[in-house]
Amino acid sequence: MKLYTTLCFLFLLAVLSGCEKDDSKIAYGNNTIFMPQAQLKSGGVDASYPVPSGVDSSTYNYQTDRTAGKLKVILGANISGPGAEGYSVSISVNTDTIQQILDAGVYPAATYLPMPASLYSLPEKLTVPAGTRGGTFTLDLDIEQLKLEQYVGKHLLLAVKISDPSNYELLTKLTTTIVVVDVDALVIGPSQDITLAYIKNPGSPFIASALNGKWGTLADWKANAAALSHSGIGGYVTDGDGKNMNLESGWGSPQIYNGKLYQTIELPAGTYSFDPSGGSWKWLGALDVAYTVVAPAVDTIPDFADILTATGFWYQQLKSPQTPVTFTLDQPGKVTVGIVVNHIQAGQGFKTSSVKLVTYPKHL
């Protein structure tokens, strides 16, 4: 009996060993086709796919074809199992999905819009050859349309889906990708802070070249006579808020008519933004309109009275939060950046601890 039991045990062990050897050659898993972009950026929480994303040219999820005037958003399909056979899927859009998302309030309807059909193109089919698990295709966006004023500050939504597989099955929950295009981020692009490379005495803290009590005159910046409103001194203040660029009227300070603070710099060709608040005003009490101005090829900024009527420069009204002045130079040259105010009412002005200049290497 013991011999029989031993022989049975050895036989079973041999069978199990044989199974393990054979099973090692068996491919496990279901062969299902899905869109990686439907889960890539959201971690599978939803199907949103923000464009742009990535930190450098090797990880951006789009390519730019300037000859064709197209921005190509990278999409694709892959297979989850071990299948090595080829397959194809149809590619289409689902406008109903986007409308349902907007109706449900997932995105604010004021700034998130369905992508118009005139702005994009897609292939009808993706074919993945045998021996390849996945493939890519591109959603082509028209660059000039992206630059239209109606899309400034907007996000454009498009639901791209795959269907009708020639082989295998679809992983249904990952067959639709919600492409979310941040227009400003594409058109303007990721910024690079170049303040210290081009602007002298940019702040944090500001440096004064002359002082009269708490008031001073900024080093490396020019101030016209109106801005020197404290007995020939002006444009700088040191107090409990630190050492700041400043113009103000009231509290014992006189009115400032057409007061200017500015600096002329040399810049290469490119696209830039100038922000006199440095990202956040230390204080802004705006009772009368004032402006931040960028003027190319000149050594000063326009008079206050000419801001709304003259041409050849860029400007933004001072407000909080501050909208930077974005400008493009087609060739290298000098540019004058600054602020012009007309402080008629008492009890107003501004303080800023720094100014900021950025460029956009990926600008469209």
Give the structural domain span for 283.
Answer: 193-359
| Residue 8, in any domain of the structure | no
**Is the pLDDT higher at 271 or at 302?**
302
Task: Please tell me whether residue 172 adopts helix, strand or coil conformation.
Answer: helix
Query: CB-based contacts of 137: which residues, under 8 Å, 6+ apart?
Result: 75, 76, 91, 122, 123, 126
**What is the pLDDT averaged over residues 26-52?**
72
Whether pLDDT at 1 is above 50: no
168/102 same-domain check? yes
Each residue of 73-114: pLDDT tens digit?
Answer: 999 999 987 878 999 999 999 999 999 999 999 999 999 999
Average pLDDT, the chain: 89
Question: What is the DSSP annotation of 70-121?
Answer: EEEEEEEEEESS---S-EEEEEEE-HHHHHHHHHTTSS-TTTEEEPPGGGEE
Quote the pLDDT of residue 114.
97
Residues 122 and 216 in one domain: no
Q: Are 179 and 51 in contact (CB under 8 A)?
A: yes
Residue 62, domain member (yes or no): yes
Q: What is the rounded CA–CA span in Å between residue 159 and residue 137?
A: 15
Average pLDDT over residues 112-117: 97
The Cα 162–Cα 139 span in angstroms is 13
Regarding whether 354 and 218 lie in a shared domain, the answer is: yes
Residues 220 and 174 in one domain: no
CA within 13 Å, CB half, 330: 0
Q: Please indicate whether residue 17 or residue 39 has the higher confidence score (pLDDT).
A: 39
Q: What are the two backbone dihedrals, phi and then psi, of residue 217, each rounded to the nearest 5 degrees?
A: -115, 135
3-state DSSP assignment of residue 319: coil
Domain boundary (187, 220, 238) is at 187
CA distance 168 to 286: 65
Measure Cα distances from 221 to 60, 144, 234, 359 in Å.
39, 38, 11, 21
CA 200/CA 202 separation, integer angstroms: 6
Residue 312 pLDDT greater than 80, yes or no: yes
How many domains would you assign to the chain?
Answer: 2
Q: What is the pTM of this model?
A: 0.60
Are both 165 and 238 inside the same structural domain?
no
Task: Evaluate whether residue 292 is within a structural domain.
Answer: yes
Given this model, what pLDDT does residue 21 score? Answer: 40
Q: Are residues 210 and 137 in the same domain?
A: no
Residue 2 included in any domain? no
Are the beta carbons of 303 and 335 closer than 8 angstroms? no
- Is there a single domain that holds both residue 303 and residue 335? yes
Tell whether 13 is covered by a domain. Answer: no
Gyration radius of the chain's alpha carbons: 31
Residue 235 to residue 244: CA distance in whole angstroms: 8
Per-residue tokens: 71: 């921005």
Q: Which residues pair with 89 in a beta bridge?
A: 126
Closest CA to 206 of 230, 233, 232, 241: 241
Look up residue 270 and give its two tokens.
Answer: 């490119």
Over range 187-195, report the average pLDDT: 87
- Same-domain check for residues 126 and 160: yes
Contact in structure between 38 and 94 (CB atoms under 8 Å): no
Look at residues 158, 187, 216 and tell me which one is the last residue of a structural domain: 187
Contacts of residue 129, Cβ cutoff 8 Å, sequence gap at least 6: 86
Supply the DSSP string of 290-359, one letter for each residue: EEEEEEETSSS---GGGTTT--SSEEEE--SSPPPEEEEESS-EEEEEEEEEEE-SSSEEEEESB-EEEE
> In CATH, what number is assigned to the domain containing residue 168?
2.60.40.1740
- Band (pLDDT 50/70/90 cuts) for residue 57 is low
CATH code at position 232: 2.60.120
Query: Is 58 in the same domain as 167?
Result: yes
Q: Is residue 109 part of a domain?
A: yes
User: Can you give the pLDDT at residue 47?
Assistant: 75
Give the pair of three-digit tokens for residue 160: 């791209």
Residue 340 sits in the same domain as residue 198: yes
Position 363 scores a pLDDT of: 72
The residue from 142, 160, 187 where one domain ends is: 187
Q: Which of 75, 45, 54, 96 is nearest to 182 (CA)?
A: 54
Residue 51 lies inside a defined structural domain of this protein: yes
Answer yes or no: do 162 and 243 share one domain.
no
What pLDDT sits at residue 24?
Answer: 37
Q: Are residues 158 and 201 in the same domain?
A: no
58 band by pLDDT with thresholds 50, 70 and 90: low
Inside any domain, residue 22: no
